[in-house]
Structure 1
Amino acid sequence: MSGLLAGIEPIRREPIAIEIARRLVDYLLSGEIGPGQRMPSERQLAEAFGVGRSAMREAIKSLSLLGLVDVRHGDGTYLRKADASLLPQVIEWGLLLGEPRTRDLVEARQKIEEVIAALAAERRTDDDVGELRVLLARMETAAEPEVAAAVFVEADVAFHLRLAEAARNTALRDVLGGIQALLRVWISRVIAAGDRDVSYREHVPILEAVERGDPTAAEAAMAAHMRAAALRLERAIAGRLAVDGGDGGRRGDGGRRGDGEPPG
């Protein structure tokens, strides 16, 4: 009988503090608490979640270490005011925990990019193509290992945003612009995995299809790039989880990070 069960792995139960942290991120993203506002007390949150105060305390400590909340002793816990660094941290924390809203945002970005590529192929001008060529050339140069990864990230983000301009659809352009934080987190995590040249080469057929005015090919090339990029993102996240202890930081101490550093 034991041989028949050899391929079955036991179900791993994660510490309650990790589950609480995941639900707290979802709560913070829901808009119930505005930036700079005080969150309900530890006791109130523990009662609402149906968990012990010690587990809730550990979850809040994790979010504090990530810079998502400010714990003011004697005053309460506050959601950090919105700034340029907060949203990327929320997004990456959500990716690490499999937070549903963040996963939905990743999926939405994939589909938006495909539509944008097709429309850009139909509506692009010579100026659009020229500027996209410049950005693609910048990506090629930045793909060299001796160039700082941040240079590639900026060129990659700029390429996608410029492609949105070429699509001549302000709604799609604004939506993509509104998730620049996701773009930067996504691309930064992938680039950290050493895939700059691969990513650059995936952009080449996108621009070629846009340049020759082939919306079907442009959409297909973007879809292929998005699928590959999503797989690289998952691999990068898996690598990050392994670095954090082989189990995504899900340690017996309630998931506390040993060095107190935020991911990314």
Structure 2
Amino acid sequence: MALDSTGSAADRRIGRGRIADQIVDDLRERILSGELPNGSRLPAERDLAERYGVSGSTVREAVRVLATVGLVSVRHGAGTFVTAESDTMIGMSIASLVRLEGIGAREVLGMLGALNRYAAQLATEEASDAEIASFRVAAEKLAVIDDSDRVLEDLRAFTRCLSEISHNALLIAVCRLLADVQVELAFAMSGGQVAEWRRVVGGLHADRLAVVEAVESRSARRAAEAVEAHSAHAARLILSSPQAKRIQVSDPGCTHLLAGLVNTRLNSTGN
């Protein structure tokens, strides 16, 4: 008696207790199981209401919950579509946690450093020689800091690459978001000034090459140590700029800035 994306499933009437929550649970299970695949269109509101034996307003409430957690997207005039992408779901969870718990820049940078440490250790074992070579290319592109937009993209590519060559799907999904946020945070803290951007990004070039060389050596210990050194240096440089100090006066933990960056990253992913 499954509910499929065409709306041809059998009646799935449910009890009155926590009705919207039960609909959310039912649809979420079908989305996560792949029965309603990413990109598919949910049955029309009227069809869902009929099959669950509820009002249209109850269906709309359930759909709003699914949209909030990133499982569906409502396109006015077109319908509701499944958008079950790991980046979106993880991003929404992290964005909510940042705001609810008041998590600041140091905590996020520290977490990314710990995750990158593990990613580097895995990369020494799992990455192919070609993948490690591409990691070096990504690092070497950052030897010259002359154009902010280009450097922004190159830095994003480098920070993502380490997790990608770890071949750990969960690490890749979490690190992709946090790495992008770190890059945007560094740019915001630079105040958009090329000289300051050069101080931060250029100042980390030797550290990046050290990480690459450690991964090339296939030594998990060396890789972990190199990432720890890079992460600590990055945090110091990012948070020590004049712009960063000004931001921290009004936003001591940079929590509001960080929440805004996470949401901006999340919105760009969903488009």
Q: TM-score, normalised by structure 2?
A: 0.49
Structure 1 residues 232 and 189: alpha-carbon distance in aligned structure 2, compared to 1, 3 A threshold: farther
1:222 aligned to 2:221? no
**Count of aligned residue pairs for this structure pair:** 159
Structure with greater contact order relative to length (CA < 8 Å, sep ≥ 6) = 1
Secondary structure in 1 aligned to 2:167?
A: coil
Structure 1 residues 175 and 127: alpha-carbon distance in aligned structure 2, compared to 1, 3 A threshold: same
Q: How does 1:249-264 map to 2 (within 5 A)?
A: none
Structure 2 residue aligned with 1:54: none
Deviations 1:190-248 (A, max 9, x none): 66532232111110110001111011111100100100111112213x53443x7x943
Structure 1 residue aligned with 2:15: none
Larger radius of gyration: 2
Larger helix fraction of residues? 2
1:189, CA displacement in angstroms?
Answer: 4.0
Indicate the larger mover: 201-210 or 158-167.
158-167
**1:208 alignment partner, one of 202, 207, 213:** 213
Which runs of 5 or more residues in structure 2 are unaligned? 1-64, 70-87, 253-259, 262-271
**2:109 alignment partner, one of 92, 100, 106:** 106
1:160, CA displacement in angstroms?
Answer: 2.1
**1:137 alignment partner, one of 123, 140, 143:** 140
The list of structure 1 runs, each at least 4 consecutive aligned residues, that deviate by more than 3 angstroms after superposition, is: 101-104, 189-192, 238-242, 246-250
Contact 1:210 1:218 in 2 (8 A): yes
Deviations 1:118-140 (A, max 9, x none): 11112221111221122112111
C-alpha distance in structure 2 between counterparts of 1:249 and 1:102, whole Å: 11
Structure 1 residues 108 and 130: alpha-carbon distance in aligned structure 2, compared to 1, 3 A threshold: same
C-alpha distance in structure 1 between counterparts of 2:103 and 2:251, whole Å: 19
Q: TM-score, normalised by structure 1?
A: 0.51
**2:118 alignment partner, one of 109, 115, 118:** 115
1:127 aligned to 2:133? no
Letter in 1 for 2:250: G
**2:243 alignment partner, one of 239, 245, 262:** 239
Which runs of 5 or more residues in structure 1 are unaligned? 1-30, 36-83, 251-261
Secondary structure in 1 aligned to 2:140?
A: helix
Structure 1 residue aligned with 2:28: none
Cα RMSD between the aligned structures?
Answer: 3.6
Q: How does 1:144-183 map to 2 (within 5 A)?
A: 147-183=146-182
1:158, CA displacement in angstroms?
Answer: 0.8
C-alpha distance in structure 2 between counterparts of 1:209 and 1:181, whole Å: 23
In percent, how many aligned pairs have the same letter? 17
Structure 1 residues 175 and 124: alpha-carbon distance in aligned structure 2, compared to 1, 3 A threshold: same
C-alpha distance in structure 2 between counterparts of 1:229 and 1:198, whole Å: 9
Letter in 1 for 2:109: V
Structure 1 residues 107 and 174: alpha-carbon distance in aligned structure 2, compared to 1, 3 A threshold: same
